[in-house]
Amino acid sequence: MSTTHAVIGTPLGELTLIARDDALTAVRFAGGGHREEDIGESAGTELFAEAERQFAEYFDRRRTRFELPLAPRGEPFQLRVWELLQEIPYGETTSYGALARRLGDVGHSQAVGAANGRNPLPVIVPCHRVIGADGSLTGYAGGLDRKRYLLALEEPPAEDAGRLF
């Protein structure tokens, strides 16, 4: 198993895509402080080219869901939370409590928040779509400005935008 990486430019700044074999294992924001041994050698692969294409489509509002092979590493609870994150529809948000209820126990809200914060595949696994129960923006690994940007990008256009009457 070999780990490779590629760096792509996005409106959020450079993203480092990390893959092991033929699946993405992580996406890291610029300034994330990763070590070379964690991300492997730089490589130009079909996977990275496809990921870059899908990111471009997403930021152009032509893609609402990523379709890439993913292999995040985490504890079973984290993996379940990350699966639930992928079920949050584009342009919608949910709360930590709502995700905890879907897992069967609203008391797990903090654990859901911790798993959300450890999501190794931000943007692709849309942890930015999780907000506080009161509608407030809460932490995001890439910073709240990036979270705000992503939520605004996904905001549906007003139905009456562009109408003359």
In a domain, 160, yes or no: no
Q: Is residue 134 part of a domain?
A: yes
CATH code: domain of residue 53: 3.30.160
* Distance (Å, whole) CA 17 – CA 52: 9
Catalytic residue among 27, 127, 141, 150: 127
Q: Would you state the structure tokens that stand for residue 54, as one six-digit string?
A: 């899908």
For the stretch 40-66, pLDDT in tens is 677 778 999 999 999 999 999 999 999
Separation CA 132–CA 113 (nearest Å): 10
8 & 54 share domain = yes
Q: Is residue 10 domain-resident?
A: yes
Please tell me the number of Cα atoms within 13 Å of 15 on its side-chain side: 24
Q: 94 is in which domain, residue-wise? A: 76-154
Say if residue 35 is in the same domain as residue 86: no
For residue 86, the domain's CATH number is: 1.10.10.10
> Rounded CA gap, 91 and 101, in Å?
21
Indicate whether 31 belongs to any domain.
Answer: yes
Do 33 and 93 belong to one domain?
no
Is residue 65 included in any domain, yes or no? no
Ordered per-residue pLDDT tens for the chain, 165 residues:
689 999 999 999 999 999 998 999 999 998 765 555 467 677 778 999 999 999 999 999 999 999 999 999 999 999 999 999 999 999 999 999 999 999 988 788 899 999 999 999 999 999 999 998 888 888 888 889 999 999 999 997 765 555 554
Residues 40 and 87 occupy one common structural domain: no
Q: Known catalytic residue: 127?
A: yes
Give the C-alpha separation, 148 to 137, whole Å. Answer: 8
Domain count, the chain: 2
Pairwise CA distance, residues 126 & 26, whole Å: 13
48 & 102 share domain: no
